[in-house]
């Protein structure tokens, strides 16, 4: 399973979360929800992809994070 997310305000705006903001969303909202549904070990194994305004110039920043 792969979870992809993008905040509503980022759609079509060219703006994106900073790394710390992405980390907070994944760590405080998405992973706990996945843990409640599937258990902690499975929740940690699920890849979470951020898709908001990724461009050729910022793609590397998004690909190195394993939040």
What residue ranges do the domains of the chain occupy?
Answer: 2-63
Whether the model pTM is above 0.95? no
Residue 25 DSSP label: H
CA distance 32 to 11: 24
Please list, residue by residue across 8-45, b when 16 or more beta carbons sit within 10 angstroms of its beta carbon and e when fewer do: eebeeeeebbeeeebeebbeeebbeebeeeeeeeebee
pLDDT of residue 35: 97
Look at residue 66 and tell me whether its pLDDT is greater than 70.
no
The confidence score (pLDDT) of residue 28 equals: 92
pLDDT band at 9 (very low <50, low <70, confident <90, very high): confident
Task: Please state the rounded mean pLDDT for residues 27-44.
Answer: 95
Mean pLDDT of 44-65: 76
């Amino acid at each position: 399973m792969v979870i992809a997310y993008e905040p509503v305000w980022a759609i079509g705006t060219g703006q994106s979360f900073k790394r710390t903001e992405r980390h907070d969303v994944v760590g405080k909202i998405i992973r706990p929800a996945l843990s409640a549904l599937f258990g902690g070990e499975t929740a940690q194994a699920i890849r979470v992809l951020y898709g908001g305004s990724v461009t050729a110039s910022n793609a590397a920043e998004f690909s190195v994070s394993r939040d």
